């Protein structure tokens, strides 16, 4: 059910010019920015790292805005009641949506890598090519699980978009997607460690070298925790909305 | 007098009706806190890569911060009329639509100025940037010109909303392009010639140059030409927005596509 649901929602998102443009063009602009920053800093050896980092930023943006607005979007489409009437736990119905936002985000990763290769000649020489093929989907899956927690939390907030806008750059910053954690103040370490951004670390390690499995394992462990918390929250929100008859109300 | 009332009161009413970020939580989250994290992100990235010092990033990103509300605000000023089903009423008005739409930029520019000042202040405090006190009035004027210029740029994009459905795609991509092409985060010398040429025609580029001169204590004489260029770019977009609005309005009436979503 998760597979079919994720496929359905991914196909639906892939029909949206806005989603596609956001997932393809914006990360490519960011990748270009990263490439020129690396060149200006005299570090052309880090171009692959920059392209991968920009792609990861795109995946995060897709999850943040897609999952944050997942329930609201269903409400606007008039399909939320139908989803909640399904004889399945609400988390199981919403999780494919948040997973699909992460899958759509992988367009960003592919776009930045292709862009870097074709336009700037970035050598796609991954330190662990096979592990990269494991780490990238692992990261996407982890972020999809985190997305469920976002979706269930954001639905309680009237101004969830404000939080989504505010969270984009902080997560980019503390997750080490483009800025190494070593240059950040020490107090940001525990915050980064508690987020499922270990997936980003695993992808970077697969691309540039490093122990991939520990980072990926921690990412999936934290993400499973987010999935469990999101499922509990979703059940609570659904019961509350049914009791107060506010399911369709924004 | 009536024209001033149309510009002042009309602009404020339209701002309150169409600007989707006007609840305090959204305003603070999206427009005041977000740009500060953007500034920190690029400052740390620039430090790590050794591209430029903190002054470069604090001043650049503070000026760029004005663009967020102005570009999206300018787009909302036109596109949301259509979304809310009120575009036809506005275009039926016997008053000058050029004045109606151009006046809408003022509140957004005020917003942009507030955001730029707040980002500069917090960024300077967090990263320890000292700006010469005598440079502050000219710096404020530079931020105001940048905000106005971005507002007219946003209105130009908003005018496209009279003709095209997915104008938000254009706004999102434009905001991302401003990050790349205006020399805010990559020194202009590090960009290829064609990117620099495109950047020269965009808002922010010249204002950033002027603001960096002022923050470095070079004085108004050094910043003046760049500030004048920014004002010229802003004026250019104001004229372009007026022309596009007029042309697309006529075209929409002819094709009966005003409220087509």
Give per-residue pLDDT as tens, B174-202: 988 999 999 999 998 889 999 999 999 99
Q: With a cut of 80, say whether residue B19 has pLDDT above it.
A: no
* A236 inside 8 A of chain B by CB: no
In this prediction, residue B20 carries a pLDDT of 62
* A250 inside 8 A of chain B by CB: no
- Sorting pLDDT into bands at 50, 70 and 90, what band is B260? low
Q: With a cut of 80, say whether residue B2 has pLDDT above it.
A: no
Q: What mean pLDDT is predicted for residues A40-67?
A: 85
Q: What mean pLDDT is predicted for residues A84-113?
A: 87
Question: Is-contact B74 B105, C-beta < 8 A?
Answer: yes
Instruction: Report which of residues A22 and A225 the model is more confident about.
Output: A225
A22 CB neighbours in chain B (<8 A) are 169, 172
* A169 inside 8 A of chain B by CB: yes
Measured between alpha carbons, how far is A59 from B236 in angstroms, rounded to an integer?
Answer: 37
Asked if A162's CB is within 8 angstroms of B37's CB, the reply is: no
In this prediction, residue A103 carries a pLDDT of 86
In this prediction, residue B205 carries a pLDDT of 95
In this prediction, residue A152 carries a pLDDT of 81
Asked if A21's CB is within 8 angstroms of B169's CB, the reply is: yes
Note the ipTM here: 0.86
In this prediction, residue B142 carries a pLDDT of 96
Q: What mean pLDDT is predicted for residues B82-108?
A: 82
- Sorting pLDDT into bands at 50, 70 and 90, what band is B250? confident
- The number of helices, as runs of H, and strands, as runs of E, in chain B is 12, 0
Residue length of chain A = 250
In this prediction, residue B225 carries a pLDDT of 95
Strands (E), chain B: none
CB contact set of B168 (below 8 Å; sequence gap of 6+): A18, B75, B79
* B168 inside 8 A of chain A by CB: yes
Instruction: Report which of residues A230 and A249 the model is more confident about.
Output: A230
Please name the residue of chain A whose CA is at the shortest distance from the CA of residue B178: A29
A165 CB neighbours in chain B (<8 A) are 26, 29-30, 34
Q: H or E element: which one contains A102?
A: helix A90-120
Q: With a cut of 60, say whether residue B261 has pLDDT above it.
A: no
> Residue ranges of the domains in chain A?
2-244
A52: its two tokens: 């991968």
Question: Cα distance from A247 to chain B (closest Cα, Å)?
Answer: 23
Question: Is-contact A214 A55, C-beta < 8 A?
Answer: no
Q: What mean pLDDT is predicted for residues A224-230?
A: 90
Q: With a cut of 80, say whether residue A165 has pLDDT above it.
A: no
Instruction: Report which of residues B72 and B211 the model is more confident about.
Output: B211
How do residues B107-160 score in pLDDT, each as one tens digit?
Answer: 889 989 999 999 999 999 999 999 899 999 999 999 999 999 999 999 999 888
How do residues B203-240 score in pLDDT, each as one tens digit?
Answer: 999 999 999 999 999 989 999 999 999 999 999 999 99
In this prediction, residue A195 carries a pLDDT of 77
Asked if A40's CB is within 8 angstroms of B187's CB, the reply is: yes
The per-residue pLDDT of chain B, averaged, comes to: 88
A62 CB neighbours in chain B (<8 A) are none
* A25 inside 8 A of chain B by CB: yes
In this prediction, residue A249 carries a pLDDT of 65
Asked if A169's CB is within 8 angstroms of B38's CB, the reply is: yes
Q: What mean pLDDT is predicted for residues A32-48?
A: 85
Max mean pLDDT among A73-87, A164-178, B102-116 falls in B102-116
Q: With a cut of 80, say whether residue B17 has pLDDT above it.
A: no
B12 CB-contact burial (10 Å; exposed 0-12 / middle 13-18 / buried 19+): middle
Q: With a cut of 70, say whether residue A161 has pLDDT above it.
A: no
A6-26 as b/e: b if 16+ CB within 10 A: beebbeebeeeeebebbbbbb
By Cβ distance, the residue of B33, B48, B169 closest to A166 is: B33
**DSSP per residue over B170-181, as a string?**
HHHHHHHHHHHH
By Cβ distance, the residue of A17, A179, A180 closest to B41 is: A179
* B191 inside 8 A of chain A by CB: yes
Q: With a cut of 70, say whether residue A159 has pLDDT above it.
A: no
Measured between alpha carbons, how far is B78 from B91 in angstroms, rounded to an integer?
Answer: 11
Max mean pLDDT among A65-69, A203-207, A238-242 falls in A203-207
- Sorting pLDDT into bands at 50, 70 and 90, what band is A202? very high
Q: What mean pLDDT is predicted for residues A100-127?
A: 88
**DSSP per residue over B183-229, as a string?**
SSSS-GGGS-HHHHHHHHTSSSHHHHHHHHHHHTT--HHHHHHHHHH
* A156 inside 8 A of chain B by CB: no
The per-residue pLDDT of chain A, averaged, comes to: 85
In this prediction, residue A242 carries a pLDDT of 83
Q: What mean pLDDT is predicted for residues A106-132?
A: 89
- A and B: number of Cβ contacts within 8 A: 104
Q: What mean pLDDT is predicted for residues B44-50?
A: 89
* A168 inside 8 A of chain B by CB: yes
In this prediction, residue B22 carries a pLDDT of 64
- Other C-beta atoms closer than 10 Å to the C-beta of A83 total 19
| Phi, then psi, of A34 in degrees rounded to 5 | -65, -40
């Amino acid at each position: 059910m998760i597979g079919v649901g994720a496929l359905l929602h991914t196909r639906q998102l892939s029909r949206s010019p806005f989603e596609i443009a956001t997932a393809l063009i914006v990360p490519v602009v960011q990748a270009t920015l990263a490439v020129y920053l690396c060149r200006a800093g005299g570090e052309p050896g880090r171009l692959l790292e920059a392209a991968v980092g920009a792609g990861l930023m795109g995946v995060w943006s897709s999850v943040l805005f897609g999952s944050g607005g997942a329930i609201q979007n269903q409400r606007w489409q008039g399909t939320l009641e139908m989803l909640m009437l399904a004889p399945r736990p609400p988390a199981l119905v919403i999780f494919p949506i948040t997973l699909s936002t992460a899958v759509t985000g992988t367009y960003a990763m592919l776009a930045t890598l292709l862009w870097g290769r074709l336009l700037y000649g970035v050598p796609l020489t991954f330190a662990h090519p096979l592990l990269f093929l494991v780490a990238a989907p692992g990261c996407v899956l982890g972020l999809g699980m985190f997305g469920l927690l976002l979706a269930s939390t954001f639905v309680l907030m009237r101004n969830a978009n404000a939080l989504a806008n505010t969270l984009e750059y902080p997560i980019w910053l503390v997750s080490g997607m483009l800025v190494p954690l070593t240059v950040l103040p020490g107090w940001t370490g525990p915050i980064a460690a508690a987020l499922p951004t270990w997936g980003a670390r695993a992808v970077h390690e697969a691309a540039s070298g490093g122990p991939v499995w520990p980072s990926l394992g921690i990412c999936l462990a934290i993400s499973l925790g987010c999935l469990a918390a999101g499922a509990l929250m979703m059940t609570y929100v659904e019961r509350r909305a049914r009791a107060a008859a506010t399911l369709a109300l924004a | 007098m009536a024209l001033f009332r149309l510009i002042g009161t009309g602009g404020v009413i339209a701002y309150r009706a169409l600007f989707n970020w006007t609840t305090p939580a959204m305003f603070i989250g999206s427009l005041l806190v977000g740009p500060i994290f953007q500034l920190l992100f690029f400052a740390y990235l620039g430090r790590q890569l050794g591209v430029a010092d903190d002054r470069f990033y604090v001043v650049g990103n503070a000026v760029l911060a004005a663009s967020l509300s102005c570009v999206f605000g300018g787009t909302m000023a036109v596109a949301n009329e259509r979304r809310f089903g009120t575009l036809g009423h506005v275009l039926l008005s016997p008053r000058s639509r050029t004045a109606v739409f151009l006046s809408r930029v003022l509140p957004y520019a005020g917003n942009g100025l507030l955001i730029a000042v707040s980002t500069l202040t917090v960024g300077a405090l967090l990263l320890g940037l000292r700006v010469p006190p005598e440079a502050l009035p000219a710096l404020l004027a530079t931020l105001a010109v940048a905000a106005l210029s971005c507002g007219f740029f946003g209105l130009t994009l908003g005018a496209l909303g009279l003709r095209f459905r997915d104008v938000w795609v254009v706004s999102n991509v434009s905001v991302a392009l401003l990050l790349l092409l205006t020399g805010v985060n990559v020194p202009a010398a590090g960009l290829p010639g064609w990117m620099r040429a495109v950047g020269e025609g965009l808002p922010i580029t010249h204002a950033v140059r002027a603001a960096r001169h002022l923050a470095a204590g070079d004085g108004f004489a050094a910043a003046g030409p760049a500030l004048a260029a920014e004002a010229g770019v802003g004026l250019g977009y104001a004229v372009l927005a007026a022309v596009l609005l007029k042309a697309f309005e006529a075209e929409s009436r002819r094709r009966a596509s005003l409220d087509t979503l």
